Chains A and B, each alone.
Chain A
Amino acid sequence: MNRRRFLKVLGVTGGGGATALSGCSTDNVEKLIPYLVPPENEIPGLATWYASTCRECPAGCGFHVRVREGRAVKVEGNPNSPINQGKLCSRGQAATQGLYNPDRVRAPLSRGDNGFFEPITWDAALARITERLNAVSGDRVWFVTGNEAGAFDSLVSEWLAALGANPSIVYEPFGYEAMRHANRVVFGSDSIPAYDFAAAQYVLSFGADFMDTWLSPVEQTRQFSEGHSYDSGRMGRYVHVEPRMSMTAMSADEWIAPNPGTEGALALGVAHVIVRDRLASVPSDVSRIQTLLDRNDPASVSGVTGVSVATIERLAHEFTAHSSLAVAGGVGAQHDQAHASVAAANILNYVAGNVGNTVTFGADINPSGESSYASVASLVDDMAAGRVAVLFVHGADPAYATPANLGFAAAMRAVEFKVSFSRFLDDTAMEADLVLPDHDPLEQWNDFEPRAGVYTLQQPVMQPVFDTRQTGDVLLALAAQLGGSVAATFTAASYKDYLQARWQRLQRDRRPFDVFWTEALQRGGMWTEPGERAVRLAAGAATVAEGTWPQPSGEQLTLIAYPSPALYDGRGANRPWLQELPDPVTKLTWNSWLEINPVTAERLGIADGEMIEVSSAHRTVTVSAHLYPGIKEDVVAIPMGQGHRWFGRYAGARGVNVLDLLAAEPTEFGGMGHFTAVTLRNTKDYEPAATPAGRSRQMGRGIAQATTLAALAHPEEQHEEEHSEHAAPVPEHIEEVLDEWQEAQYREWKQRGNYAAEDLPRWAMAIDLSKCTGCSACVTACYAENNIPTVGEKLMRRERGMAWLRIERYFEGGGDEPLEVRVLPMMCQHCGNAPCEPVCPVFAAYHTPDGLNAQVYNRCVGTRYCSNNCPYKVRYFNWWDHSNENDAAFSFPDPLHWLLNPDVTVRSKGVMEKCTFCVQRIRGKQNELKLSGESLQDGDVVPACQQTCPANAIVFGDLNDPDSRVRAMATDSERGYHVLGSLNTRPAVTYLKKVTNSAD
């Protein structure tokens, strides 16, 4: 029985079900303006913005939701938020696809006698639960939630307490158990400190993918690019230690691949050298761990890690030469001995005197979200043993996000009554007896505390799309129905009241509450600065674990299950934007893959795209191989996030769930072990990869150029200019002739038509490659802003993706010399001498007076000559009718089409399209200014990609404005260059060379 059949049955059983599926309760939104009388603040054609909080991951970034005619159409980072300061990642940008996801549960469902779900009214559903709860004793009631730090958390706890039930179990697949454990041992505090990547000029990461998913990626990316990127002669240095080069590691100046799971030993080795040579003012109490350090002298460490003694010594000196920061975490802190790695990193920070500087306790990250895999494992035992009568699951999908061997789903069947509050029919909800769909985060009242002192608010930005109900209200309603002591516990009539009551307690000042409340709502929350907490080395610090991951022997390889930058732990898998987003590292889409080093692959006779049978002690999965030079030999990796059994049309039955391969037993520190030993068998079946990437080498064409800090510091010295003969510049005298000619043309246009207008801007963009991390947030933002259709796996195999903006990823070096990764955002270059324009027979492509390379869809006949003649290949053709619901390629199944941006055309079949520099935003701003009579200031117009870029790599503006930022960057003689400039296309996009701070 597959997903489709299930939905079919669901649709057939009961007419109510049918209507529920075909979207009932949407009447009020079917109208263009869903109000009988539009309220004052709702002017048709003008957007309303609401501040809210992103709940796509526990980082808790704040965002603004753009609402047009009562429908949320886009989210953008909230500039006031202390976490993300106006930036968002891909997952945040895709939040609207959760809201409008066609696979949302559209009404409460209960499992009928035939085993299939049938629609049920809310009252009936609540009645059933009440009856159940009255029937069973409290200690047989369990509640599993996701990481909820705030009102909902306390509501659940109070509710359970009132019931006399067990405390709730919080389950986040990445609960940072190892960090908490290690911090407890080393510093005696199990909270997660704040790491300051901006202040650190030297970052040493032991497997912490702090720009992918670890802790607060957007915030850390911003800080990192502040602290690390090249700025007038200065830049930081970043060394990454991990057997696999993650997206974060691609930005590293040096990548060290030790034996898997030996990062801890390396950290101790470095600490050893620092203490030995007194490289830093080592705190006195380090003597406690002297013996520990002595045991880890460079020689022995080198033996364990496979990193040379010289390197260890060098790292120690570099680490102490500048203000530095060592972080251990991410997937590097997910193997059996990971707590040792983190502890070692802590010690390293401590001996180098970073604790209190770049590592500060107090503003602790995610204070109350203490989830643990161990507790889930014990719950499974209870369930299997029949000790659980009623199970509530909210905001978590443990049936999917735990190893198959744990048997969560199977154990659930032993529970008499299972209630899921999931918004989607995920693998856990499919096991439930009752599904009471919660509101989407964009539809609900809520708050969240991503770090001590930072309280963010969520507010409903639009009418609920479906017949859903906020779980908080459901719990309160249940309490009322249960009556007696339970009902007495709660005074709040609704969850909103409950929330406000909590915020009344939070209010510090004397103002009336509603003033405070409104202000908080507008700001997006309330930020306070908790005091810093000094920590010393704990007494038990000497007893920290020193273990390393046991290297597998013989034919076995180490498999690493790492979180996907786009899908995270899998919760993003039902968002088509995220599925179609090329993985920042491998550039693969819509599926799972096995990363394997080319050398190992050759040894095992494995070719790219061949289906490989991966067998661990626990399970076997079959997945296609991807040869990746950025992974250590004899180590393989599979991203998490795919392999859902259910979870809707986009995620269901796609790829493999790598967790199936992992061991079910919790690790010593209570987490899930993400490393396991596997053997590979080549099935010889071949499956072409769904990737937009052609070649991964630049063929020396200087597309993504780079230089070194040394070269910039001493330009007078002769550094061999890479790709010099290819990026051959146009000779000086030719340049002059061309310029004069250009001027003559310009004067001629100035006499005619639209071109005759005075003081026109010339729009241009500049991209700093020393900031760009390749995180691809801009790509998703572009999808969201410009109504770009997703085409699905089959078409991606033919490179028919429609992304206007792509992140090109090239490898340099590799093999014997160090591997370097270059990333380059490539969108329409809006050339001054655009090759695409003159070849269009019908003027569909032409040059606007303000320097845009316009594409008029309604003129386009579809000869596709423009794309042939575009050296950058940034024009995309509508091969299919993605907007026709009768066509196979239909991209916007109801209600997904509600998030289409009303300001942007949905392109029809047979026309060419491309990046417009977000012309709708330019014109919108210009009209706005025309009305207000002000003049355009630099930074007034912000395209979607620049708006969301967490690294602030993209700058847009007017070249004719002498003191615009983009002008300054475009004329940067030090690093500025044009891609394929030798073709004399005069691009409006200037790239600033990437700078690597190589070891001195």
Chain B
Amino acid sequence: MPFPGLTALPFCFFLIACHHPPAITGAPKKVEVKKAEGVFRIYKNGKPFLIKGGSGFTHLRELAACGGNTIRTWDTTHLQSILDEAHHYGLAAIVGLDLPVSTLLDEFYCNKQKTDSVYSAYQSIVRRFKNHPALLVWCLGNEIDFPYRPRFAAFYKTFNRLVAMIHEEDPDHPVTTTLTNFQKRNIVNIKLKVRGLDFISINTFNPLKTLEKDLQHFKWFWDGPYLITEWSPEGGWETQVVKWLAPIENTSTKKAELFRDFYQNYLPHKDPRFLGSLAFYWGWKEEYTHSWFSIFNEDGTPTEIVETLRDCWRDTVTHHQAVQLQYMLLDGKGAADNILLSPGSTHQASLLLAPGEHSDSLCFHWEIIREDWWGHKKSHWTKPPAEQGLLIDSTTLQVAFRSPLKEGPYRIFVTAFNAKGFCATANTPFYVVE
């Protein structure tokens, strides 16, 4: 790529700003990022360590059984027990130290009292856990964004101070932060304004398809190591939507297929700067819907994605035990048909199983839940309560249901369980119009 004139200027600043003091050489660190023979790797206890894991902190036994080696937290809640459990299963942990987004200047970064209290809290956390054998990396902040404008100076000051503190308290573990997708802005500002990060981490979904190319094009400016801390095919913000802008969700069968596709074709395995990846979300969470990112069901039943990831990480091809679906229909229509229902009317929903599956050996659970479109405005996503009394029998392959009386967007969900301990999910959005 030619050297664009406009970016030359920040680059000059970068040369000045990036003058690091020479590293103190001494005893080998427990975990460090090193470049050997042109390849970046995390070295754990002196051995190269390629991260293959789940972005999540539950179901650790299953993760270890699948061949994963790393988990991740976003904050420090129950950190002791999570690290202990991880250690128990021989897993490493990326420990998240939560920070508010950089735009909250008045609310946080410009408030000395608040930043000081976070500083001392994290100081004690680092002191407490720095010798935990499961600890791999400190991750300071998740998608907090690194803007250009000078008014964010307070944010950079706080951030740099925290990074310095972690390094000082715990020279044995690298520090990173996660960024949303590949964005030049973030990388430029981290280069120019942030000191002490050992590598960057990227959370990326559909744009994973172009990540390697994007990074390659920007190599002239930044060619350091990176870790993919969240990956999954299609987030709810980047997929096909119905006319009322509710995203259309894939069945768990389709998701498993896409996970394999993404892992094999888009994760930059051959990139010498690639430190590893964490699949999102290893566990169960509500985001858009309760099944969108969840690799496990609410009750802990795994979906087919678990088997897919096991195959990916172990590089095997196995016969999957999980339930496989084709799609769900509502009155013979799919989600893309933009289904409108009148309140209190009766309808049929049916699930089409993949060939080879028999409904006799499965049990089903149907739910009607209103669309969770404002979930991210709440302090955290929570699953809205299911509408009551609408389903006549919610355990069959086909169900008849009465539409809700209140106008608004809803979804009908189904989860199919089999005797082998797996489940599959599907849902269809619809809108009740009075």
Do A and B assemble together?
Answer: no
Show the binding face of A for B, using Cβ within 8 Å. Answer: none
